[in-house]
Amino acid sequence: MKNDYSIWGTKTTSGNNTYPVHLRYAIDKKPTYYKNMEGIIYDENDEWREILYQMAKDYLKNDKNLHEFLYKVAQNNPDHYPSGHTGYEMYYTDIISFWREIYNPEFDFDI
């Protein structure tokens, strides 16, 4: 499989219980560019999961208003995502929930 990723880790609940987490994704093409809503550019010099995280963070900041989000993505990324669709929308919830915490637990991932 091309670009088949498995992420193993643990998740601690608000009740201080810990349980194992395993996420597996087959990503055909990793993201290499994204200009977020604040105008900060993430590109091939950044970790691909960080680029996905920034996309997800912007999506959640728009209160999951898909039309507004797509418009802003297209406006900020006309050469990469002219329709506003990035192709990574299916990962937004998981990466915000705990994916980023697993691959980089020391990182402060406040939205």
- Inside any domain, residue 2: no
**pLDDT of amino acid 60:** 84
| Token pair belonging to 2 | 């091309």
Q: What mean pLDDT is predicted for residues 34-54?
A: 92
- Inside any domain, residue 60: yes
- Inside any domain, residue 21: no
| Token pair belonging to 40 | 């900060």
How far apart are the C-alpha atoms of 33 and 31, rounded to whole Å? 6
- Inside any domain, residue 17: no
- Inside any domain, residue 56: yes
Number of structural domains (the chain) is: 1
How far apart are the C-alpha atoms of 3 and 26, rounded to whole Å? 6
* pTM of the model as a whole: 0.68
**pLDDT of amino acid 81:** 96
- Inside any domain, residue 20: no
**Considering only CA atoms, which of 76, 73, 67 is closest in space to residue 39?**
76
**pLDDT of amino acid 109:** 45
**Residues of the domain holding 90:** 29-103
| Token pair belonging to 64 | 């999951």
* DSSP assignment string, 27-89: -SS----EE-TTS-EE-TTS-HHHHHHHHHHHHHHTTT-HHHHHHHHHHH-TTT-TTS--S-G
Q: Which of 42-46, 75-79, 103-107 has the lowest mean pLDDT?
A: 103-107
